[in-house]
Structure 1
Amino acid sequence: MTSDPTLAQRSLAEFLGSALLAAIVVGSGIMATQLTSDVGVQLLINAVSTAFGLTVLIVVFGPVGGAHFNPAVTLVIAATRGLAWRDAPAYVSAQIAGCASGAILANLMFAAPAISISETQRVAPNTLLAEVVAAAGLVLVILALVRTQRLALVAPAVGAYIGSAYFFTASTSFANPAITLGRMLSDTFAGIAPASAPGFIAAQLVGAAIGLGLAVALYPRRVEVVEPGAAGASALATEVESGHEAQSGASAPARTPAVDAAPDHAG
């Protein structure tokens, strides 16, 4: 009988996953600019790398801590009682530290300064609207699958959504406050200037709230916390349907693989 992951283990998984995600986003952006001068091809390289990389990271780290990699996702999961609120600060701290570390790692891998503050301004109103849309869509995708107990589809669905959102949003779908902060540290293809970050983060949080509201309206299931015992692991809720409960598993609770993160150029 295996024990549930501790908060320390889950936080480590969030840190590692977030770091690798940021390294993928920033690193593939740098590589893209070295391979071609065609901006469209650069964006395609960045999008495909992020979509596939994110999918793999969710599969790898989802069983440990849920693979949120995103403070907006963590807050939404906590709001739907899939994660204890007392654990949320540890998750968010790990995600922010991980994304910062991943951006620095990407810089170093390409022989750039460890920290180079981005000068890429992204303050146009249409890009902020795009971030609202990107984050709302991400949260809706995650909760739609979680609340209908189709967890095996979360990884490919989230990866596919982020990959497509690179192209249908004017902001190229950051959709993640931690990634936004991390990308400030790289003055490269994927960067964002510090002055632009607060607006992006606010838009992402608004979008996450909208996505949550839509998910609850479309999938009105009653959610109950499944406490995983002493470890206090984030349980994925029990869905109550047709008068009987479908347990996600108290002894080995299903995690909420989710996450985002996202990409970039333009904006």
Structure 2
Amino acid sequence: MRNLRRELFAEFIGTALLLCAVIGSGIMAERLSAGNTGVALLANTLATVFILYVLIEVLGPVSGAHFNPVVSVVLAVAGAGEGRARRTALFIAAQLAGAIAGAALANAMFDLSLLHASSKMRASPGQWLAEAVAAAGLIVVVLRAPRGRAAALVASYIGAAYWFTASTSFANPAAVLGRMMSDTFAGIAPASAAAFVAAQFAGGAVGMAVSRMLGPPDAQAG
């Protein structure tokens, strides 16, 4: 039980810091970029890449550094860690609570209301497809990253996906929840959230299937 509590705390604090960085850097970037959306997105991307790397390195030994319900569900199904339904549900609850806390913290640091709904609509077939692609790629990386390299590979993939996906690669239902709570650069309107989450879980299933088709991660090319 003590280890589970530590793992849940790591998932909570890791997801909170991730969302705080994503939202906070978006606010700062928008304020400093003088209306240049490309510059703002680049700053937002870099902050996300750096915090992801740090959080996975620091908290990975404690909980596995999921910070993402899709990752937790896929690892449970794959039997790679969080195999029990109750344990996975607790991980997801910690991640969602952390996402809300991180959004509140970011908003507070920039003198905004703690939690306020975003008005930024993200609703198009292209963006839904982008979320599925982003999540599928993330799962392939998570399942196949060589030991000790997951932090760099996951952070690098998300950084790239910020730019090659139409949705800027949320790839995480907890991130959707946190971003719903801030009407700022990184926000997403509540009306757009359900389709994003559905696309992410669909992408997670595709990513798991792709990984299985590629064979065991340590298989050598013949």
Per the TM superposition, whether the score is higher than 0.5 is yes
TM-score bin (small chain): over 0.9
Query: What TM-score comes out, normalization by structure 2 length?
Result: 0.95
Which runs of structure 2 are paired with 1:65-214 in the superposition (5 Å)?
A: 65-82=63-80, 83-85=82-84, 86-145=86-145, 150-214=146-210
Q: CA deviation at 1:115?
A: 1.1
* CA distance in structure 1 between the aligned counterparts of 2:95 and 2:154, rounded to whole angstroms: 17
User: Which 10-residue stretch deviates more, 160-169 or 211-220?
Assistant: 211-220
Distance 1:80 1:190 in 2: 31
- The separation in 2 between residues aligned to 1:8 and 1:90, in whole angstroms, is 10
Q: What one-letter code is carried by the residue in structure 2 that aligns with 1:27? A: G
CA drift of 1:219 comes to 2.2
Q: 1:227 maps to which residue? A: none
Corresponding letter in the other structure for 1:186: S
1:28 aligns with 2:40: no
Question: 2:125 and 2:132 mapped to 1: Cα distance?
Answer: 11
Q: Is the contact between residue 5 and residue 64 of structure 1 (CA under 8 Å) also seen in structure 2? A: no
- Partner Cα distance (1:5, 1:59) in 2: 21
Amino acid aligned to 1:17? G
Cα deviation per residue 1:180-229 (whole Å; 9 max; x = unaligned)? 011100000000000100000000000000000000110247xxxxxxxx
CA distance in 1, matches of 2:99, 2:153: 22
1: CA distance, partners of 2:22 / 2:50? 11
Partner letter of residue 63 of structure 1? Answer: P
State the shift of 1:116 in Å. Answer: 1.4
Q: Partners in 2 of 1:120 and 1:25 — Cα distance?
A: 15
Question: What do residues 68-93 of structure 1 show as CA deviations (whole Å, max 9, x unaligned)?
Answer: 00000000111111222231011000
- Tell me how large the CA RMSD over aligned residues is: 1.5
Q: Which has the higher helix share?
A: 2
Give aligned-pair identity as a percent.
Answer: 50
Cα distance, 1:11–1:128 mapped onto 2, change above 3 Å:
same
Offset from partner CA, 1:137-171 (integer Å, 9 cap, x none):
000011112xxxx2211000000000010000000
Structure 2 SS opposite 1:152? coil
What does residue 15 of structure 2 align with?
18
Structure whose alpha-carbon radius of gyration is higher: 1
Size of the alignment, in residue pairs? Answer: 217
Considering Cα pairs closer than 8 Å and 6+ residues apart, tell me whether 1 or 2 has the greater RCO: 1
3-state SS of 1:68 partner: coil
Q: State the distance in 2 between where 1:123 and 1:219 align.
A: 35
TM-score by length of 1: 0.79
